[in-house]
Amino acid sequence: RYDMGDLVRVTGFAGRTPRMVFVGRAGAELSAVGERVTEPQLQRAAALACPGATHVSACIAWAEVPHLRVLVGLPTANAPAGPFASGEFDAALARENLEYADRRESGRYAPPELLLLPETVWERWRERRVRAGAPEAQLKDPIVVEAALHAELLALAGTEPR
């Protein structure tokens, strides 16, 4: 037994052995002004704002007023999200995280930037990591990411970072 920092959800049992699904990493959060947005909160907000979402990756865009840059993977390629989807994500995340809601309301955090991408972007990222020698079983979806990984995902989608 090891303390790996993984958060899991028990989805059932095989006899007395629990079946678990990886949920996220303990301590994996985004915080620019004390809001501490977690991976599960990002996943739930993406699912509410973009029904059918299969992946979400987010980083902080550092500026005078910081904001989240959010990539959402969908089963089919879609055009970049409009203000409606960004507004829906923002509202869903505010319901998930009261500190985020407070920072948005006070103007200390700007609205999120949301881009819809085909889910194949994350599949290509995974394939690239495996080819580079990462054990496939140890790869977890990149949810809370640094700007460099955010840019890598955009490049895999053929989109230039802003």
**Taking the model in full, what pTM does it have?**
0.80
pLDDT at 75 over 90: no
What does the pLDDT look like over 138-161, one tens digit per residue?
888 899 999 899 999 989 988 765
Residue 47: is its pLDDT beyond 80?
A: yes
Q: Report pLDDT for 79.
A: 46
> CB 159: neighbour CB atoms within 10 A?
15
pLDDT given at position 55: 94
- By the 10 Å C-beta count (0-12 exposed, 13-18 middle, 19+ buried), 75 is classed as exposed
- Residue 21's pLDDT is 74
Write down how long the chain is: 162
User: What is the predicted pLDDT for the residue at 160?
Assistant: 61
Give CA–CA dist 21/19, Å, rounded.
Answer: 7
Residue 35 to residues 2, 100, 120: CA-CA distances in angstroms?
A: 29, 5, 31
Q: Identify the pLDDT of residue 26.
A: 56
Question: What's the pLDDT score for residue 64?
Answer: 94
86, 114 contact by CB (below 8 A): yes
Angle between helices 83-96 and 98-106 (to 10 degrees): 130
